[in-house]
Structure 1
């Protein structure tokens, strides 16, 4: 599996101590090299800003570009811009567009992340943009057009991706920590899409402390069934490592087994899969997870190196209530 990386992605630099910092990529690359991956530098597209402006409001794009020229600035309390942000974000979009065109399975080791960025920046009712500038996953999906699916496994709901794709008949599935307990406070089961997008937006909120046993059940009973019926020609995975039990910014209890299980499920479709880095703030998890992902994709090696986690009885009771509601909405549009 190709890994697309450029030092340009590290030029998006925080003006102060920040969890979303350039060194995240150092650990990703370490894992990729340990797995023997081919690392390739993406090529900046001449039409990239035109593509970005076809998805995001022109006034928002112009604001971001002006702030890049001015140097370090804050869009909000979570989200920063530096002099290198625009080049990094534009190259991330270029990388995913090129991967979509080539129909290849690849890992895009890019930053800044994007799934919280809506049409005009802050999306839906979120209090901030959550570290994100442009929505790389949604841009890739819309560029690929018919038959593209986005599977978002970041611990935070991809409110920006939902907003952008909400009226499109492109499948968007998000598993995330329940919005009552974590930013951005969106991603409820009843948010199913609208217009021709009705039924294509699937939110699976999970209670804090959800373990592998429950997450694997979600994959088997909902995600696998819907993906097979949709029969995507290409899948984009918004890959956040922050649902892992060791991540400092959330409260889930997943091990790498859950990650490899969902990766294997998607790879079995035998369609191109683009893995796009989103969140994940435990550097060692990023390294180990990247290594395990590449070994799975290249050699079929299922080696999480961690024991399966279990969900406690109290959390399991909450999950059963939530999953019943999820299935009641999803079942209106898909066979479960």
Structure 2
């Protein structure tokens, strides 16, 4: 498993104390080195900005570039741009496109994150851009085109990815804390896509405090059956470590065992898979999760170092109610 990393990704620098800060990558790299992975410096592509313009509105991309040139600014209550943001974002897109070209299993250890960024930045009904600038997962998906699947494992719904892919016949599956309880407030089961994309947008909301026992069922009963029917050429995983029980910004109750169960099931499909760093703000979880991911991908070692979490009866009952909703809408298009 190759890990694409550059210090350029740390040049996206907050102007104030912020959970999405450059030191997230320091902990990630520690996990990479402890796992013994190969670290590759990504090469900036000549077409990096063309790939960004192909997905995002030109006026928005130009706006971001102007702010980079002018020294940076806070663009909403959650999201900032610094002088180095544009270089970091363009190199991130380059790394993803290069990994896709090579059809390999890779981790793109970059920032800024992207799954909340829509066509013009703020996506759907979200109040902010949620720390995101350009949607690297969606850019990668549209770069490859037909046959790509995006699986979003983050405590937050990937509203930007949904917006960009909503009318495309490219598979998008998102698991996330129920939108009535957490930003960005979207990601309900009835949001199934439109036009050519109808049926290809799959939202699986989870009740707060959902544990690994619930997540195993989600993987076995929804994610993997749908992926097998779609039979992707390549899988992009928007990987946020913030569904972990120790993350400060979410209320799910997953352990690394739940994460590895999902990742292992995806890897067993034996498709090229590109993991992108999205959320995750507990630095220890980032480090330990990255190490466990790499050991699983390179040596088949399933070693989460944490016991499986179990959901309280009331939480499990609420999940069963939500699962009925997911089946009602998703079952129109996929055998479940």
Q: Flag whether TM exceeds 0.5 (same fold).
A: yes
Following superposition, the deviation at residue 47 of structure 1 comes to: 1.1
User: Which residue is equivalent to 1:198?
Assistant: 198
User: Which residue is equivalent to 2:250?
Assistant: 250
**1:42-69 alpha-carbon deviations (Å, 9 max, x no partner):** 0001111111111100000000000001
Following superposition, the deviation at residue 101 of structure 1 comes to: 1.0
User: Which residue is equivalent to 1:264?
Assistant: 264
Following superposition, the deviation at residue 231 of structure 1 comes to: 0.4
Equivalent position SS for 1:146: coil
**1:151-200 alpha-carbon deviations (Å, 9 max, x no partner):** 00011000000000000000000000000000000000000000010000
- Quote the Cα distance in structure 1 between the aligned partners of 2:91 and 2:260: 27
User: Which residue is equivalent to 2:79?
Assistant: 79
The count of corresponding residues between Structure 1 and Structure 2 is 336
1:154 corresponds to 2:154? yes
User: Which residue is equivalent to 1:109?
Assistant: 109
User: Which residue is equivalent to 2:325?
Assistant: 325
Following superposition, the deviation at residue 72 of structure 1 comes to: 2.5
Equivalent position SS for 1:183: coil
The 5 A counterparts of 1:4-153 are 4-153=4-153
- Quote the Cα distance in structure 2 between the aligned partners of 1:164 and 1:42: 25
- Quote the Cα distance in structure 2 between the aligned partners of 1:279 and 1:229: 28
**1:2-45 alpha-carbon deviations (Å, 9 max, x no partner):** 00000000000000000000000000000000000000000001
Equivalent position SS for 1:155: coil
- Quote the Cα distance in structure 2 between the aligned partners of 1:74 and 1:57: 20
Following superposition, the deviation at residue 75 of structure 1 comes to: 1.1
1:163 corresponds to 2:131? no
- Quote the Cα distance in structure 1 between the aligned partners of 2:233 and 2:262: 17
Following superposition, the deviation at residue 138 of structure 1 comes to: 0.2
The 5 A counterparts of 1:233-248 are 233-248=233-248
User: Which residue is equivalent to 2:313?
Assistant: 313
Following superposition, the deviation at residue 137 of structure 1 comes to: 0.2
1:291 corresponds to 2:317? no
Q: Which runs of 5+ in 2 are unaligned?
A: none
User: Which residue is equivalent to 1:211?
Assistant: 211
- Quote the Cα distance in structure 2 between the aligned partners of 1:308 and 1:50: 44
- Quote the Cα distance in structure 2 between the aligned partners of 1:6 and 1:325: 42
- Quote the Cα distance in structure 1 between the aligned partners of 2:127 and 2:88: 24
- Quote the Cα distance in structure 2 between the aligned partners of 1:69 and 1:89: 14
**1:119-160 alpha-carbon deviations (Å, 9 max, x no partner):** 000000000000000000000000001110000001100000
- Quote the Cα distance in structure 1 between the aligned partners of 2:272 and 2:118: 25
Equivalent position SS for 1:245: coil
- Quote the Cα distance in structure 1 between the aligned partners of 2:297 and 2:238: 16
- Quote the Cα distance in structure 1 between the aligned partners of 2:84 and 2:166: 31
Q: Following superposition, which runs of at least 4 residues in structure 1 exceed 3 angstroms of deviation?
A: none
Equivalent position SS for 1:13: coil
Q: Could you state the TM-score of these two structures normalised by the residue count of structure 1? A: 0.99
